[in-house]
C-alpha cells in the first residue's frame, strides 16, 4: 500500500506517464494493500475519467484475508464460490470507479473450486458487461485445463524468472504456447532477489545477466526481461514498480531478441550445470 500512498494527482501523473509509454494494462487484485490499492487507483482515475478508454484494467479475486473488509472471515482461505466472485467484482468496480474489468483472474487455485460454478459466475458477469474476459493465476497445467473445459481462459498469470525455472519444465509454458494464450508473468525480477540475493545461484545468474547486458549495451534489468521475452509463448511480464525508470528498462527489452546461446547461458547459470 505504501507504493500508492501518495497524492491522487501524483498517482494520476504516473498513470498518464505509463500510457504515454504505451503501457496500458494495469494489474490489480482485490486484496492488494489490505483491500486498499484499487481504491487509491480509482481515486486517481476519477480525476481524469476519460483515461479509462485508453487502458485495460485487470483484477484478481479468490483469496479471503482476515480483514475488516470481510468481517465474517475467521481465517485466511480461498473462496471461488459464485457468490464470492460476484461480490468481489462488484467491490472492485466500485473501488476502481469503472463499470467493467477488462480481465478478471482467479488469484490462486482453490482445492474446493467447482469449475461449473465458476463458469456460471463468469458467464453472468460477462452478460452484465462487468467482466470482458477471464483467466487464472498460479494454476497448474491440469487446473487450467479443468477450468478451460467449461469457460474460455485468456491467460495464466504465473511466477517465472531466471531463479525460478519450473514453468519451463512442468508444462505450463508448453500449454500456453499450444493454446496460444500468452502467459502473464508476476515477479519477473524475483522480487528484487536477482540484484540482492547472496546465494550461489543468484550470484551466477546476476553475473550472466550483467555480461549479457554489457554485450548488448543494456542493464541487468533489461537483460532479465529480454530473457523472459525470448520464449515463444510470448509472455507479458508485469513491472511491479512505480519508478518510471524501471518501466523504461523493462520496455527496452522489447527491442532485444536475445540470442539463443545467451539465453541458454543464463539458464545454465541458474541451474549450475550445462545442458544434458
pLDDT per residue over 74-133, tens digit each? 999 999 999 999 999 999 999 999 999 999 999 999 999 999 999 999 999 999 999 999
What are the cell numbers at 103?
Answer: 480481465
Residue 135 has pLDDT above 90, yes or no: yes
Using CA of residue 18, residue 21, residue 28, residue 222, what is the dihedral sign? negative
Helix ranges, 37-192 (H): 37-46, 82-96, 115-127, 141-148, 166-169, 172-179
If DSSP codes are grouped into helix, strand and coil, which group holds residue 247?
A: helix
Catalytic residue among 32, 35, 78, 225: 32
Q: Which of 274, 93, 125, 270 is nearest to 199 (CA)?
A: 270
By mean pLDDT, which of 3-7, 201-205, 248-252 is the weakest? 3-7
Question: How many Å from the N-terminal Cα to the C-terminal Cα in the chain?
Answer: 45
Active site residue 32: yes
Question: Residues 195, 163: contact at Cβ < 8 Å?
Answer: no
- Domains observed in the chain: 2-154 (3.20.20.100)
Greatest alpha-carbon pair distance for the chain in Å reads 56
In this prediction, what percent of the chain has a pLDDT beyond 70? 99
Helix ranges, 128-259 (H): 141-148, 166-169, 172-179, 193-196, 200-216, 220-229, 244-252
pLDDT averaged over the chain? 96
Alpha-carbon distance of 243 to 226, in angstroms, equals 19
Q: Which of 138, 192, 193 is nearest to 166 (CA)?
A: 138
**DSSP-derived secondary structure letter, 130:** S
Alpha-carbon distance of 18 to 26, in angstroms, equals 9
What's the pLDDT at 6? 87
Q: pLDDT by residue (tens digit) across 149-176?
A: 999 999 999 999 999 999 999 999 999 9
Q: pLDDT by residue (tens digit) across 235-269?
A: 999 998 889 999 999 999 999 999 999 999 999 99
Amino acid at each position: 500500500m505504501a507504493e500508492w500512498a501518495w497524492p491522487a494527482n501524483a498517482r494520476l501523473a504516473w498513470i498518464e506517464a505509463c500510457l504515454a509509454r504505451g503501457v496500458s494494462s494495469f494489474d490489480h487484485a482485490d486484496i492488494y494493500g489490505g483491500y486498499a490499492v484499487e481504491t487509491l487507483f480509482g481515486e486517481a482515475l476519477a480525476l481524469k475519467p476519460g483515461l479509462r478508454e485508453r487502458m485495460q484494467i485487470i483484477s484478481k479475486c479468490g483469496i479471503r484475508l482476515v480483514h475488516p473488509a470481510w468481517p465474517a472471515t475467521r481465517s485466511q482461505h480461498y473462496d471461488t464460490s459464485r457468490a464470492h466472485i460476484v461480490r468481489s467484482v462488484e467491490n472492485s468496480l466500485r473501488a476502481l470507479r469503472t463499470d467493467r474489468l477488462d480481465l478478471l483472474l482467479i488469484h490462486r487455485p482453490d482445492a474446493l473450486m467447482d469449475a461449473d460454478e465458476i463458469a456460471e459466475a463468469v458467464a453472468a458477469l460477462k452478460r452484465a458487461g462487468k467482466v470482458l474476459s477471464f483467466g487464472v493465476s498460479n494454476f497448474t497445467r491440469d487446473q487450467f485445463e479443468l477450468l478451460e473445459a467449461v469457460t474460455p481462459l485468456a491467460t495464466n498469470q504465473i511466477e517465472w524468472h531466471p531463479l525460478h525455472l519450473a514453468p519451463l519444465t512442468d508444462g505450463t509454458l508448453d500449454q500456453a504456447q499450444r493454446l496460444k494464450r500468452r502467459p502473464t508473468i508476476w515477479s519477473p525480477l524475483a522480487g528484487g532477489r536477482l540484484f540482492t540475493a547472496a546465494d550461489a545461484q543468484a550470484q551466477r545468474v546476476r553475473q550472466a545477466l550483467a555480461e549479457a547486458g554489457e554485450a548488448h549495451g543494456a542493464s541487468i534489468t533489461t537483460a532479465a526481461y529480454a530473457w523472459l521475452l525470448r520464449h515463444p509463448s510470448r509472455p507479458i511480464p508485469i513491472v511491479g514498480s512505480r519508478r518510471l525508470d524501471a518501466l523504461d528498462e523493462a520496455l527496452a527489452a522489447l527491442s532485444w531478441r536475445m540470442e539463443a546461446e545467451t539465453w541458454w547461458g543464463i539458464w545454465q547459470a541458474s541451474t549450475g550445470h550445462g545442458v544434458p
